[in-house]
A and B are shown apart, each in its own frame.
Chain A
Amino acid sequence: MTNKLPVAVQSRVDAHLDAVEKQLQAAGADRATRRNIVDDLETQIVDMLGSLEAPTPTVADIDEVLGRLDPPQAYANESAWPSDRVLRVERGIVYEPRLCRQAKQGAWCIGLGILAPLLLVFGLKSPPARHVISWLESSLQEGSPPPLWSVVLVGALVITAAVAAVALPIAGTLLGWIATERIRRSAGTQYGLGLAVGEALLYPILLVWFVTYTIDRQIEQVLYGTTYLSGPGGRQLIPSKLLWLFWTTLLSIGLVCWLRWSTSPKRGASSRPKQQNGPSSLLAPSNQ
């Protein structure tokens, strides 16, 4: 880093580089590419400051230098990044689509988010946990107190699993949404859209089902004085249950179709175009 610069000047340089890196990240550039570009840019800024021949660059100097540079937004220029990718695809060079990293991380979060409650349930049924629970239920009065390690273990298990059961689904859902956007903007260099859509919608759909199911039970209670689960006639199917199933299924299918449609890559972006006679970089598509 430019450790010889005054702090105020350095902070302006860093702010500019950070803004450029954010734009590059938003445009889908990978970490190594971002790092390379920012390093080149930092070298340029320091060189430009050096050419001012001021013994110590001032804030006015750095402002003047930064004013001569492209704004950070120029690095996210739609006409620059996607066309670069398209050119790679056209030339058949280094075109290796990879699974979107966020989709992969989201899958882990969703998977662990499902495992966490199961771990909690099975963990609480283990003999040491039962001992601790029964001791706690008796207000610490009855039976022999459980060993300290089992209390700590059960406490850690409950807290970890409870936090994971709440946090991981939220994280998985957010990562799913981020992944769909990244894949859409990657012009075919990243795949995993189906996985990302699944992550983005799994828990929202479960939430919709849960809410509508709860409302439905209340309606049944009011209308029929009983519910599907607690009705005296056994497992009779109450008509409103069919309606609940119909509407929630329809809503879920609609959500999946909408997200799949709205996030699908532009047609042709990920397909390999016809081979051209000459190097296509000389005829870059102007509308990219």
Chain B
Amino acid sequence: MDKAWSSQLKKGLVELCVLAALQEGEAYGYQLLQRLALESLLATTESTLYPILSRLADEKLVAVRQAPSPSGPPRRYYRLTAQGREHLRQLSAYWGQLGSAVNKLLADGVPEKCND
């Protein structure tokens, strides 16, 4: 039950986290999974991440570069595009506002006028 509501809550944030994780520099899929897993609350799985990466690439928010790998098939490296950076900025700003609003609600309760 706990897992269900927390994953629902996190679901909409995955895209923001992925774009933010790419700020560090380009990374291939598995590397990104590991970056996100460094913060245990942000850990996600490949069945969530890879479709999102594919969609972000479709939407030109990330660019893809294929490079040979020493251990197997070529790796697909993702990096933020200018459009992706702008999108991340918007998401980040909105997340700030949303977080503030929710925190305010949790701290102060519903504003007086709404109780009338």
Interface residues of A (CB under 8 A from B): 1-2, 4-5, 29, 33, 36-37, 39-44, 46-48, 50, 69-70, 74-75, 77, 79-81, 83-84, 88, 93-94, 278-279, 281-284, 286
Contact = CB atoms under 8 A, between A and B. Distances in A.
12 contacts: A36-B50, A36-B64, A41-B50, A43-B30, A44-B33, A47-B72, A50-B71, A79-B11, A278-B94, A281-B16, A282-B13, A286-B11
Given A36-B50, A94-B58, A46 B71 contact: yes
Interface string B70-81: 011111100000
B54 interface: yes
Interface residues of B, number: 38
Contacts of B100: none
Contact of B73 (A2, A37, A69): A2
Given A278-B94, A278-B97, A281-B12, A43 B28 contact: yes
Closest 9 A/B residue pairs (Cβ): A46-B72, A40-B29, A284-B12, A74-B47, A278-B94, A70-B47, A44-B30, A37-B50, A2-B72
Given A37-B51, A278-B97, A282-B16, 8 more contacts: A40-B29, A40-B30, A40-B46, A43-B29, A94-B58, A281-B91, A282-B94, A282-B95
- Consensus secondary structure, chain A interface: helix
B29 A80 contact: no
Contacts of B50: 36-37, 40-41
A80 B71 contact: no
B94 A93 contact: no
Contacts of A75: 47, 51
A17 to B, nearest CB: 11
Interface of B: 8, 11-13, 15-16, 28-30, 33, 45-48, 50-55, 57-59, 64, 69, 71-76, 87, 90-91, 94-95, 97-98
Nearest to B58: A94
Contact of B76 (A29, A40, A283): A40
Nearest to A35: B54
A72 B11 CA distance: 19
A282 B71 contact: no
A121 to B, nearest CB: 48
Contacts of B58: 33, 94
Contacts of A1: 73
A188 to B, nearest CB: 16
B11 A284 contact: yes
A94 B59 contact: yes
Nearest to A91: B59
Contacts of A284: 11-12
B8 A286 contact: yes
A282 B91 contact: yes
B45 A74 contact: yes
Nearest to B13: A282
A109 B54 CA distance: 33
B60 to A, nearest CB: 8
Contacts of B46: 40-41, 44, 69-70
Contacts of A83: 11
